[in-house]
Structure 1
Amino acid sequence: MYYNFLAVNFMVFNKFYSVIILFFSVCLSPIFAQNTVTLVGNVVEENTNLPIVFANITLLDKDTNDAVSGTITADDGTFLLKTQASNFNIQVSYIGYKTITISNYSIAKDKINLKTIILIPTQETLDEVVVRAETSQTVFKLDKRVFNVGKDLSSTGASALEVLNNVPSVNVNIEGEISLRGGQGVQILINGKPSVLAGDDGNALGTITADMIDKVEVITNPSAKYDAQGTSGIINIIIKKSEKKGLNGSATLNVGIPNSNSFGLSINKRTEKFNLFSQLGFGIRTYPDERESINKDLINNTTITSNGESEFDEKFTNILIGTDYYLNDRNVITLSGSYAYEVEDQWAKTNYDAFDTSNTVTDRWLRDEITEATNPKIRYELQYKTDFKRHEDQSLLFSALGRYFRKDQASVFDDITSVGDLEDAQQESRTDYKLEEYTFKLDYIHPFLEKYTLETGAQFAINNVSNDFAVANLENGVWVNNLDLTNVFDLDQNVFAIYTTGAFEGEKWGLKLGLRMENTQVNTLLETTNESGKQNYTNVFPSAHSSYKVSDNFSIQIGYSKRINRPRLRQLNPFSNIRNNFSISEGNPDLQPEFTDSYELTSIHKFGKASLNFSLYNRYTKDAVERITVFEDNVSISRPENIGTDNTTGFEINGKYNPLNWLSLNGDFNLNYYNRKGAYLSESFDFKGRVWSTSLTSKLKLPAQFDFEITGNYWSDYETLQQEVSDNAFVDLGLRKKIVKGKIILNLSIRDLFASRINETTTSQPEFYLNSTRQGGRFVTFGISYGFGKGEAMQFSGQRM
């Protein structure tokens, strides 16, 4: 069956192959242009040899002394400038330093390498003055926002999920579910590609820590170049990779209460031909948890309540190693691999009480759980990129990516009765889960006529998932499988896609149009009962983005895209955890994908020391998925169903204000109204609602080079088809101190300062009433980072100058 599956996809590929070849033949036709010269170098300060950030690199015409082109240095003091000019001097300048003019330089293979440029302080420069400049925490681009994690002090020792929770527009609830602008269906990428670390099975993102993350890209309206998966948009986590020449490295150590202990090491070696990069991380984290629930049968007037606590301990190791090999100035091959291994231990103790119609306790028992699991994860990638001589932005990129994930989990449950006639009981469950994914991509970028760019490419993704789940009861000293809860669920999904985009970018106005076509084939099978399902569908996903620069301080952007949200294993698998036998969540093998049309209008304003960004957006979703809960014998069972349409209209504002040199404020506010229409089993589920959230971050520069940060978050209450979810307010703190000229950074963070992050859901129906409350608690973490060689201390705690 698997080979037939590949054969069908190969036939589909042949249909589009001629289109791609035709386009490539046109794009690769020779176009004559002037030679482009590339300038590179590194600017440092004379006394400390530290890099100078934002130094000016200016090209001056030798005849007129007019500025021809220019750039500024990056955070590490390096710069790269491309020009077609041929008669110029090079000027390097920075406030408080003597200006250098370079007239004699050599050009080799269209490249000028100025190596290290040393700037000398002027006599007027005060010895104790420290020049500091930081890039904006959030940067807006045409089709995405970029959040620099290095500015978030409260992320010390945090996992990737906790980092995401501090990103504007992103919400991570206490269950670890990620939403974007209040909507589910978010695709998580690592370095622009899918990853087992971004899957929805287990605490996969937990092996990525804040010190490993460079930035997070939030793409609310992706173009056709991106995978169409994810109706709410894409979140792309960019992992750090240094390209400084020589040996560079940094190490970080975090300790926390409850356990948030980790060690990370990053080492890079850059030569003319190779860039070797590696990261190592290991640690242990503890997540305490308190839960309460009420199951009330309003027909028979009986109730079952529970309250308990649990502790989840996670030991993890993560190693990444890779190399960039530069064949020449225009061709590079990248080979990388990573391995992560988690060991999970969890215990839970839950007290249950059963009440009769007179509210008298009839039964009372303790349910004791011990769970152990191991999760190995493997990822490997081969990537080849070539840049073309005719234009600096013309490139061809091929990548092959493989991922493997396995979860072996075993749980034992003991029910011990203290009141009533219920017999003591034992129950156990076993999960053997395997995932294999392979993705092959080809992307080509072809600029022409200075202001135009064409992009085209293809992608083929293979996904194979198997989940072997079993539940057994101890009967007369013998373990007997519960056949109603035991089965092997297989999911095979293959997606073939091609896309083309065309863009025009003028001085004030820009336009980007795209079209993507995806063919999806899905097979599901319950092996024990031989229940199978098949789906085969082809969809077209258009996109359009435009921007207009009214003035230097005011710009407008508009965007449209069509998206799909294919059901994942957790939504399809009919079996789930039996931790609470009276509150069961299961999947639906017959679930269909959601399709969303997304519209967005954004304005970007700058007012002196302040910047504001307003967004008005609308998402219209067909075959919208909602969880439907049924109730029988005091047991609630919820499963996802396609119930109809969802029309969501929202407004978002992001702002930054620097009223004083030592104070900066960052804020985000998001409000959306939704109108859902549909039916399930002839029952209407039409309803309207609203949800809003806001956050405010204040950063203060204190004496003795201390930095302090406080962030307040609020999420409003909201309604789903059957549930009411309570509001939530919590505060995070961060404190940072740099020593040894920035080589060592000390960090202290407190997340959920008042332990106020409580998740409460209520379901009120004519026949039953459900209430569930869950709380995590406060986390305090202290971290120390050290940069060696030419490296810097890990910059989750801020930039140097």
Structure 2
Amino acid sequence: MNIKRLSILFLLFTSFLLNAQNKTLEIKGKVIEENSQLPIAYATILIADKDTKIPITGTTSNDSGDFVLSTEANNFYIEISFIGFNTITISDYKEENQIIDLKTVTLSENLEALSEVVVQAERSQTEFKLDKRVFNVGKDLSSTGASALEVLNNVPSVTVNIEGVISLRGSQGVQMLINGKPSVLASEEGNALGTITADMIEKIEVITNPSAKYDAEGTSGIINIILKKEEKRGLNGSVTLNTGTPNNHSLGLSLNKRTEKFNLFSQIGIGRRTFPSEYKNINSDFINNTTINSNGESDKNETFYNIVLGTDYHINDNNVLTLSGNFAYEQEDENSTTSFSSINELNTITDSWKRVESTEATNPKWEYELQYKKDFKKEDQSLLFSALGNFFGKDQESIFNNTTITGANDDGLQSTKTDFKQAEYTFKLDYTHPFLEKYKIETGAQYVLNDVENDYEVNDFIGDEWVNNPDLTNLFEFKQNVLGVYTTGAYESDKWGIKLGVRLENTDLNTLLTNTNEKNNKNYTDLFPSAHTSYKVTDNFSIQAGYSKRIYRPRLWDLNPFFNIRNNFSIYTGNPNLQPEYTDSYEITSIHKIGKASLNLSLYNRYTTDVIERVTTFEDNVSTTRPENFGTNSTTGFEINGKYSPLKWFSLNGDFNINYFNRKGDFEGTSFDFNGNSWTSRLTTKFKLPADIDMELSGNYRSKYRTLLSDVSDTFFADFGMRKKIFKGKAILNLSVRDVFASRRNESVQAQPDYYIYSHRQRGRFVTFGVSFGFGKGEAMEFSGQKRF
């Protein structure tokens, strides 16, 4: 009986298996694009019930466009889709031996859907967030062929003079970051930002009042440049070619390959550009009644190469490992001719001569980073660790040839040689932990090691040989290590939010002037609190307020007591005894949405102690400028940012900033108390014209203002940009004209009882034409490490 029952059960089980096997179907095929006949990777293949329309199962195509999946359903339809293409639904299919072979499925482009995607993907040129503003570079039409310095000059609240000095709300104490970390690519040595071009930049964050999570460096705030890194599935890329006058030629290539586990990304750029300059200087000595006039022209030529390589390895759904590297190499040559004349008390030229400079330099830069990110099951909980290494070098040689035209001056030759090396290492750990839905704690640490050596040598040609000038030659070593730890706590509800934080930083600084064995060692620890709050009054009106304490640590060139002999009558030198500045920064901002307009009003105050000022001494027509610490400075400012879009094809963006400062201080028994003000404004108009043409015109104005010893003249300049989409948006033509009226200048006057100094420099108009072409298909999305159905 038992054997009989077992036999029946066996037959039933066998029958069940046979029936199950009969119902299992395999569905396979290949997805390609109609126009190019190329395979489409990561197309979605969906199996859904015919009656209920409920999805049953699904998969995505591989890199070759092939797919295979199985189902036990018997009443279903097959849907194949991909972003930007028309969806295909298959209800009638042929089954052979439990296999449905769809063979090749061809998808055609959905032009209307593509247009909708483009519209949805567009972001405002400037976005306002709790503690920062985000400037999306791709929306700036006048950035074609521009370097990062030129892009920055179009960012609200930021100004960059023609010497490359960056100011934020009128203050030069700015901390520059790349992807949220210190980098030699953002350092002030050697115009390093010149190797980063506009097509490499995704966005720029302006953080005027940073929380304790960020470096305390930078008394006026932080500017963070975010470089592009695609996350599109499949193979994607773009090619950009620019040409312009004066010389501005560049070629850029960006490639991204996204697979199930890896995201490979790269950028390659090469180019050559020229920066012509005209300048004029007057040094008048009222004690001896003599004047030195100089004027001339120079052109700086840069040939640059840049390559970025990196990969993201998605270990699993919650763990990502990133390894990336950047190598840049510049070749510089600069030629200038300056005419000098010496004038006596009778206004008669007593001597005149020409000084011709020929400079050549090579600047290698490289950067490498290992980053690990872990996301936890709880939303927004994450751990991030990164180790970053940087190196920047400069090998520069200059020849200065003096040729007498009139007078008794002797012809002369001088040469300089600079061997500069900077190594910087950054280790960073950040942890974010949300709890009770509305609370969040952030904590972390950062250790930055900076090791710099500058070997500067001056030689005079005497007789038939070069003779070293020991008075102007030095070897300066600079080592600075900064360890910072922080914690912040935040509460955020639908209406109200608050974020409090504190950062502790220890600075260990050592400098050595080897010629004289002068050492300067400092070790100090500081506490930097921060507080931010926001309140949403209505859907169209919000208020934000913030406070942070900041520090400005003197840089290498502030500390190094070298002499620049480019112009023997205008000398700049450092001060190894310089102390850091400290600033307390307060800010309140209101954000308004009024119909088709948005308006943001900010009131801020910065109070700085141990202010660093450039002090000039004057003797025998030679001005020597050196930084010194003395006194305090209180700056109160008001800023307005607004956007108005009355029509779909027309919009206005405006930025206005005015600040009043109260300067107090004594130096060597002399009072330098004074008050002043300055203001800047920017207005940008955008037009959407027929035939997929966009046009942009912006005007920039900076008022005259006063520094400790100088009066700086006002300046105005305008930029123009135009963009045209062709080939269904796959290619874009760009035209930009920077400084349309060739009116941008740097002009200053020092009028003192014993002397008068006038300085003027101007570069002129830059016109650039560019074309960019994108290839590959894919949806920009953050990959989760698993298949999407």
Question: What's the counterpart of residue 426 of structure 2?
Answer: 439
- 2:391 counterpart of 1:399: no
Q: Distance in 1 between matches of 2:404 and 2:535?
A: 70
Question: What's the counterpart of residue 481 of structure 2?
Answer: 494
Residues 556 and 604, structure 1, Cα contact 8 Å, conserved in 2: yes
Which of 282, 295, 307 pairs up with 1:294? 282
SS in 2 for 1:182: coil
Q: Distance in 1 between matches of 2:493 and 2:36?
A: 42
- Inter-CA distance 127–713: structure 2 relative to 1 (3 Å threshold): closer
Residues 743 and 788, structure 1, Cα contact 8 Å, conserved in 2: yes
Residues 228 and 562, structure 1, Cα contact 8 Å, conserved in 2: yes
Which of 141, 151, 154 pairs up with 1:166? 154
- 2:328 counterpart of 1:340: yes
Q: Distance in 2 between matches of 1:267 and 1:704?
A: 29
What pairs up with 1:466-477 in 2 under 5 angstroms?
466-477=453-464
Instruction: After TM superposition, give the deviation of residue 577 of structure 1 in Å.
Output: 2.5
Paired AA for residue 553 in structure 1: N
Q: Distance in 1 between matches of 2:722 and 2:111?
A: 35
Paired AA for residue 701 in structure 2: Y
- CA distances 1:496-539 after superposition (whole Å, capped 9, x unpaired): 11100000010100000000000001000001110110111000
Which of 229, 234, 248 pairs up with 1:260? 248
Which of 141, 144, 150 pairs up with 2:129? 141
What pairs up with 1:768-787 in 2 under 5 angstroms?
768-787=755-774
Instruction: After TM superposition, give the deviation of residue 790 of structure 1 in Å.
Output: 2.1
Which of 213, 216, 232 pairs up with 2:204? 216
Instruction: After TM superposition, give the deviation of residue 272 of structure 1 in Å.
Output: 1.2
Question: What's the counterpart of residue 280 of structure 1?
Answer: 268
- 2:347 counterpart of 1:321: no
What pairs up with 1:646-665 in 2 under 5 angstroms?
646-665=633-652
Paired AA for residue 653 in structure 1: I
SS in 1 for 2:729: coil
- 2:683 counterpart of 1:693: no
Residues 550 and 582, structure 2, Cα contact 8 Å, conserved in 1: yes
Paired AA for residue 449 in structure 1: L
Question: What's the counterpart of residue 430 of structure 1?
Answer: 417
- CA distances 1:129-188 after superposition (whole Å, capped 9, x unpaired): 996773211000000000000010000000000000000000001110000000111011
- 2:416 counterpart of 1:414: no
Residues 489 and 526, structure 1, Cα contact 8 Å, conserved in 2: yes
Residues 249 and 791, structure 1, Cα contact 8 Å, conserved in 2: no
Q: Distance in 2 between matches of 1:178 and 1:122?
A: 45
Which of 523, 529, 532 pairs up with 1:536? 523
Question: What's the counterpart of residue 785 of structure 2?
Answer: none
Q: Distance in 2 between matches of 1:121 and 1:521?
A: 60
SS in 2 for 1:704: coil
- 2:740 counterpart of 1:757: no
Question: What's the counterpart of residue 557 of structure 1?
Answer: 544
Q: Distance in 2 between matches of 1:214 and 1:318?
A: 17
Residues 739 and 766, structure 2, Cα contact 8 Å, conserved in 1: yes
Instruction: After TM superposition, give the deviation of residue 297 of structure 1 in Å.
Output: 0.3
Paired AA for residue 293 in structure 1: N
Question: What's the counterpart of residue 358 of structure 2?
Answer: 370
Residues 673 and 690, structure 1, Cα contact 8 Å, conserved in 2: yes
Question: What's the counterpart of residue 339 of structure 2?
Answer: 351
Instruction: After TM superposition, give the deviation of residue 126 of structure 1 in Å.
Output: 14
Paired AA for residue 606 in structure 2: R
Question: What's the counterpart of residue 387 of structure 1?
Answer: 375
Q: Distance in 1 between matches of 2:761 and 2:291?
A: 19
Residues 742 and 792, structure 1, Cα contact 8 Å, conserved in 2: no
Paired AA for residue 123 in structure 2: T
SS in 2 for 1:161: helix
Paired AA for residue 148 in structure 1: N
Residues 786 and 792, structure 1, Cα contact 8 Å, conserved in 2: no
Which of 659, 665, 669 pairs up with 1:678? 665
Paired AA for residue 635 in structure 2: T
Question: What's the counterpart of residue 601 of structure 1?
Answer: 588
What pairs up with 1:90-129 in 2 under 5 angstroms?
none
- Inter-CA distance 788–422: structure 2 relative to 1 (3 Å threshold): same
SS in 2 for 1:243: coil
Q: Distance in 2 between matches of 1:100 and 1:608?
A: 41
- CA distances 1:718-751 after superposition (whole Å, capped 9, x unpaired): 0000001110000100011000111100000000
- Inter-CA distance 129–323: structure 2 relative to 1 (3 Å threshold): closer
Any unmatched runs of 5+ in structure 2?
1-32, 38-83, 90-105, 781-789
Question: What's the counterpart of residue 38 of structure 1?
Answer: none
SS in 1 for 2:610: strand
Total equivalences in the alignment: 693
Paired AA for residue 519 in structure 2: S
Q: Please, what TM-score do these two structures have when normalized by structure 2?
A: 0.85
Out of 288-297 and 679-688, give the one that drifted further. Answer: 679-688
Q: Distance in 1 between matches of 2:404 and 2:116?
A: 72
Q: Please, what TM-score do these two structures have when normalized by structure 1?
A: 0.83
Residues 657 and 679, structure 2, Cα contact 8 Å, conserved in 1: yes
Residues 250 and 791, structure 1, Cα contact 8 Å, conserved in 2: no
What pairs up with 1:237-256 in 2 under 5 angstroms?
237-256=225-244
Question: What's the counterpart of residue 519 of structure 1?
Answer: 506
Q: Distance in 2 between matches of 1:503 and 1:595?
A: 26
- Inter-CA distance 578–791: structure 2 relative to 1 (3 Å threshold): farther
SS in 1 for 2:135: strand
Paired AA for residue 609 in structure 1: K
SS in 2 for 1:202: helix
Question: What's the counterpart of residue 562 of structure 2?
Answer: 575
Paired AA for residue 230 in structure 2: S
Residues 200 and 570, structure 1, Cα contact 8 Å, conserved in 2: no
Q: Distance in 2 between matches of 1:447 and 1:127?
A: 38
Out of 460-469 and 784-793, give the one that drifted further. Answer: 784-793
SS in 1 for 2:138: helix
Q: Distance in 1 between matches of 2:402 and 2:114?
A: 73
Q: Identity of counterpart residues, as a percentage?
A: 68
Question: What's the counterpart of residue 169 of structure 2?
Answer: 181
Paired AA for residue 341 in structure 1: Y
- CA distances 1:704-730 after superposition (whole Å, capped 9, x unpaired): 111111000000010000001110000
Greater Rg over alpha carbons, structure:
2
What pairs up with 1:586-735 in 2 under 5 angstroms?
586-735=573-722
- Inter-CA distance 128–446: structure 2 relative to 1 (3 Å threshold): closer
- Inter-CA distance 653–120: structure 2 relative to 1 (3 Å threshold): farther
- Inter-CA distance 270–681: structure 2 relative to 1 (3 Å threshold): same
Q: Distance in 2 between matches of 1:248 and 1:129?
A: 17
Instruction: After TM superposition, give the deviation of residue 576 of structure 1 in Å.
Output: 4.0
Paired AA for residue 504 in structure 1: Y
Q: Distance in 2 between matches of 1:645 and 1:171?
A: 23
Any unmatched runs of 5+ in structure 1?
1-44, 50-95, 102-117, 794-801
Q: Distance in 2 between matches of 1:612 and 1:786?
A: 36
Residues 557 and 574, structure 2, Cα contact 8 Å, conserved in 1: yes
Q: Distance in 1 between matches of 2:85 and 2:198?
A: 35
Which of 443, 451, 454 pairs up with 2:441? 454
Question: What's the counterpart of residue 77 of structure 1?
Answer: none
Question: What's the counterpart of residue 296 of structure 2?
Answer: 308
- Inter-CA distance 749–547: structure 2 relative to 1 (3 Å threshold): same
Paired AA for residue 604 in structure 1: I
Question: What's the counterpart of residue 14 of structure 1?
Answer: none
